[in-house]
Amino acid sequence: MISFHSSVSLKKIVHNLSTSFQNIHHFYKEQIDYCSTQVKARLNGHVRKKRIHYYHKSSYSLPNLSVCPVYECDVSSHEDSMQNADLVIFESHPPDKTNIPTNQSWLLYHIESPQNFPFTDSKDRINFTATYTIDSTIVTPYYKYVTFADVELKDSSKRIKLLEDYSVGKTKLVAWFVSNCAGISPRLKYAKELQKYIQVDIYGMCGDLSCSRGYSKCFNLLKTDYKFYLSFENSICQDYISEKFFENALKNTVIPVVMGASKQEVVRSAPPNSFIHVDDFNSAKELADYLHYLDRNKTAYNEYFKWYNHGFFDFNTFTDCRLCMLAHEIDNFEYPYWYKDLGQWRQDQCRNRKLPIIV
């Protein structure tokens, strides 16, 4: 639940910072450039650097803001700097602090799902959020798809002149790397049902196969041997798309089969026609039948890789640049802005979600 009074300046800056962007280029040009121009115009050369305190960061991991359009912010993680900060960034639970300076704002910066990391004790303390959800103050997805047409691409290696046959040499069908066998998501039950109708090799604590996940040999195994990867999240929550989708599947030229965020939510971040979603099927058997069809039809299979000719995915969403701009904009807010119950807001993202049909 968000509580605030009507404020034109507040709504405008929050809109510019959190609007769903189609790709990184549009975000950078329309949000970073536009917002920074407005901020710089208001600063008009009379700059008081804003102080940003990163509560859970070590000093060696603090961001370098010199590359940002608006960079007039001092960043620190030293405990003594918190009291004088304009904006405090939390990556975990904030402290039980009552003597918060009047002009200080707090922001939650987190990319884990509410089911994995709930916030239950942050009422009336968090002013802004930077998370993967589209209704955050600042949207920070794991990755974002970028088209070649929307960027000045200098790295020609990212372009593919001819569409390859990505089925060549792949003799196995479905793989899954998974170590968390619990959780609210029905993903393990779905995978076991799917195994009745198609080869599904499960690596890790929840399966019979082993591979040191995260090492290049495991990802190379995906790339050379498998056609599909189960990108099954451990949480069924709004907009939650973790590195499994991008790092495990797309980066290794296998088609991700998705469970977690809804199909519409995945479309916002993913390359076009790059994934298969379990919600499109009435049972695990129906999904297996479709995967068998793609296995037999290399033309249909390769349709899922056409996006390689048109773009790539990038992890840089310029979050720290936006945090600096937000710090400068807070003074222009007519009224205070805060999350009445941050824990409730986050938990609502996982309530009443559509569950996949298994049988």
**Predicted local distance difference test score (pLDDT) of residue 342:** 79
pTM for this entry: 0.81
Burial 129-138 (b: 16+ CB within 10 A, else e): bbbbbbebbb
- What residue segments make up the domains of the chain, in order of their start? 2-140+317-348, 145-314
The yes/no answer on whether domain 145-314 falls in CATH 3.30.70.1150 is no
Mean pLDDT of the chain: 81
Write the pLDDT tens digit of every residue in 86-133. 999 998 877 777 678 888 999 999 888 887 776 766 666 888 999 988
The mean per-residue pLDDT over the stretch 157-186 comes to 83
Q: Which residue has the higher pLDDT, 185 or 343?
A: 185
How far is residue 139's CA from residue 195's CA, in Å, rounded to a whole number?
Answer: 36
**Predicted local distance difference test score (pLDDT) of residue 94:** 79
Lowest mean pLDDT among 6-10, 120-124, 154-158, 247-251: 6-10
Catalytic one of 112, 243, 247, 303:
112
152 is catalytic: no
